[in-house]
Amino acid sequence: MSKMITVKDLHKSFGKNEVLKGIDLEVHEQEVVCVIGPSGSGKSTLLRCLNLLEEVTSGDVYIEGDNLTDKNVNINEVRTRVGMVFQHFNLFPHMTVMDNITLGPMKIKGVSKDQARKDAIPILQKVGLEEKADVYPESLSGGQKQRVAIARSLAMNPKIMLFDEPTSALDPELVGDVLEVMKDLAKEGMTMVVVTHEMGFAREMGDRVIFMDEGIIMEEDEPENLFGNPQNPRTQEFLSKVL
């Protein structure tokens, strides 16, 4: 399987605060990597460095072999290959679901409006919202909004999807539908990095689970091992609180 993401000795500081302290990571095609760890450990910062929403302080990030820290790299083109879904859906409130989804392909990829709308239909079906194309986000539940956000990302036809706690802002009864969409994506072979508190999802869908603490990957393993027999005391302590 080819390497989709390679991170080498990644450091990221905000002023004097070193948040990532040397991260090495490889994600292969079709792999689902789940990232867990306490609040403030640098999980979001790591994800944001993977599509240059944050500037890297030192180290290298490669997406399909392209070094994002190379000055010549076309970051907007790379970003079309790396979709990202946030905790707070960040939909455009004044635009319908359909318009939210078609904006990126039209603006960034130059797809015609007709084509973008045609392409959006199977994506809306995939997230179970084909009936909601013409409504505005305010009339949707949190879970539906998040599924629109996923659809909006998928409309760019990304090779990699990054999820940053996609269900953390949702009422518990709405979490399942979003996780189902993510599971379907994983089964279809999408390469995914998922920061999550949903240990059940990580256990079931993760090919690998990474435990981060204090800007370091403290431990990584297959879910069965990491959850069943964690080696690092910090992992043990964290899991004893969340499981």
**From the list ligand ADP, Mg ion, none, which binds 76 (C-beta under 5 to 8 Å, kind-based)?**
none
- Closer to Mg ion by CB, 27 or 162: give it: 162
For ligand ADP, the closer of residues 40 and 122 by Cβ is 40
| Subset of 26-55 contacting ligand ADP (CB under 6 A) | 37, 39-45
Write down the least CB distance from residue 112 to ligand ADP, Å. 37
Number of residues that bind ligand ADP (CB under 6 A): 11
Asked whether position 44 contacts Mg ion by CB under 5 A, the answer is yes
Residue nearest to Mg ion (CB): 44
Q: Which residue has the tokens 């072999």?
A: 65
Q: Give the whole-angstrom CA distance, residue 4 versus residue 232.
A: 28
Choice between 42 and 104, CB closer to Mg ion: 42
Q: Cα 223–157–106 angle (5° rounding)?
A: 145
Q: Indicate the residue among 17 and 74 with the shorter CB distance to ligand ADP.
A: 17
45 near Mg ion, judged by CB under 5 A? no
Residues in the site for ligand ADP, rule: CB under 6 A?
14, 17, 19, 37, 39-45
